[in-house]
Structure 1
Amino acid sequence: MTRLVRAGALALVLATAAVPAAYAQAAPAADTLFRATTLNLSAHGETRIAPDMATITLGVQIEAPTAQGAMRANAEQMNAVIAALKKAGIAERDIQTSNLSLNPQYVYQENQPPKLSGYQASNQVSVRVNDLKDLGKAVDATVGAGANRVNGISFGLKDSTAAENAAREQAVKALAAKADLYAKAAGYHVARLVSLSEAGGYSPPSPMPMLAMARMEKADATPVAAGELSVGIDVSAVYELAK
């Protein structure tokens, strides 16, 4: 029994002694990491490009004494609007219903309970226009066919890859220039790029309100200015510096 106890105690001593040795082997790597001089930076790259497509949201809003009458009248007028869009060159796949609603309408008088006056039916579609030359024509056609709600327009890109890559190149060049500047100011030079990460990218802008309907109906043709889109990329990096 005594021999077993002594053997167990010896094993415990050896195991305890082995722990510092394991930590000693890992220490140099950690120590090297802490002794390295690093620089954490971020930069932004941006390019501007003309859009090549647009999305408009438009629709029909009708009021009638009954719910059934409001929905029926709305459907008839909306069918005419969709037919006008197709005639203007918009493909059926580029027309999508985005909102359909039916709401009761009330008249409010002081000290009186609300009185039902009728129903309001609303039908709204999102229309993708792939040729901007057809944009004004499409809007005019829908207004002529009975659309009385044009809620907004947004311009976009069918393929944003080239614009994003141009912004990436600008961002990385700006990042490298900034790293060289900081390193030189601190009395170092950039030894290597340790890590690089990206954030941001192209996202279609939110729809912008268009001209009032009454003003659009009086115009000979609806003017639409596409302008330019801004595509931005943010990058961050860690550089190792050396003397």
Structure 2
Amino acid sequence: MKRTFLLAAAAASLFPLAASAQQVSSGPVVAAGNTLLSIAAEGKSARAPDLAVFNAGVTTQAKTAGAALSENADRMNAVIAALKKAGIAERDIQTSNLSVNPVYGQPRRLPDGSFEQQDPVIIGYQATNQVSVRQRKLDQYGKVIDTLVAAGANQVHGPSFQIDSPDGAMDEARIEAMKKARARADLYAKAAGLRVVRILSISENAGWAPPQPPIVFARAEMMSAPKAPSPVAAGELEMTVTVNVSYELAP
């Protein structure tokens, strides 16, 4: 009886190990004698952007935090009103930064050229309020920027060009990538004297590239709009998709 019990216990202890081993997968499995081929292929499509995202705001400085913030609020209200008057919908205007920070005086330079060692002294406060804006009428972008500067904005950064609905362009890139992957798989298979049997796995990496780095407009001294609208070139956005496809090859 004792020996029978020990054998039963040993057999029971093996079952979890067997179940665990069955759950382990080393990736796509090919039939005996067949070959696994992994291909990476890139597909692209281009579109003209239909959306420009930029930041606009006001930075003010005063002796006290309250005074800096009060002046900032007056000027920022004028900037937001100018945005709405220029045709920007309220849903496309969102506060992105509202801050008040101390301004420190510079340390006094000593005759020997070094600086006097002392604790920082607050000489005023700086308030900043910025909004993120989505401009949908790209042909009006330069005019809107000029209007903001005339209304009192002294911080304008952008644009970041985007596509409002990129799905169609991305799907074009995906189709091109898959065609390239299959053509490349057929090429390898033919060169090796094999044929493509089936697809085992597909994965992708996707994104788009802007046509140029962001432009920075306007500083504090630019408080009046120029006679001609600021020129802006939207260019094109390139959608890129890379697919990783595994194929099974057979003789």
Q: TM-score, normalised by structure 1?
A: 0.82
Aligned residue in 2 for 1:185:
191
Compare the two structures and name the one with the higher helix fraction: 1
SS at match of 1:151: strand
The residue type equivalent to 1:118 in the other structure is G
After the TM superposition, which residues 7-156 of structure 1 pair with which residues of structure 2 at under 5 Å, given as runs?
8=4, 33-109=31-107, 110-111=115-116, 112-156=118-162
**Superposed displacement of residue 136, structure 1:** 1.4
The residue type equivalent to 2:234 in the other structure is A
Structure 2: 5+ residue stretches without partners: 23-27, 108-114
**Superposed displacement of residue 219, structure 1:** 5.6
Classify 1:116/1:33 alpha carbon distance in 2 versus 1 (closer, same or farther; 3 Å).
same
Aligned mates of 1:97, 1:129 — CA distance in 2: 15
Aligned residue in 1 for 2:111:
none
Aligned mates of 1:189, 1:234 — CA distance in 2: 23
Runs of 4+ in 1 over 6 A off after TM superposition: 203-207
Aligned residue in 2 for 1:225:
233
**Superposed displacement of residue 228, structure 1:** 0.3
Structure 1: 5+ residue stretches without partners: none
The residue type equivalent to 2:99 in the other structure is S
Classify 1:211/1:34 alpha carbon distance in 2 versus 1 (closer, same or farther; 3 Å).
farther
Match of 2:244 among 220, 232, 236: 236
Aligned mates of 1:127, 1:31 — CA distance in 2: 51
Identity value in percent: 48
SS at match of 1:183: helix
SS at match of 1:35: coil
Contact 2:209–2:237 (CA under 8 A) maintained in structure 1:
no
SS at match of 2:132: strand
**Superposed displacement of residue 206, structure 1:** 9.9
**Superposed displacement of residue 137, structure 1:** 1.8
Aligned residue in 2 for 1:208:
214
Contact 2:33–2:250 (CA under 8 A) maintained in structure 1:
no
**Superposed displacement of residue 207, structure 1:** 7.0
The residue type equivalent to 1:222 in the other structure is S
Contact 1:198–1:235 (CA under 8 A) maintained in structure 2:
yes
Number of corresponding residues: 226
SS at match of 2:216: coil
**Superposed displacement of residue 202, structure 1:** 4.8
Per-residue CA distance 1:54-76 (angstroms, 9 max, x = gap) = 11111100011111000000000
Give the RMSD, CA atoms, in angstroms: 3.0
Q: Which has the larger radius of gyration?
A: 1
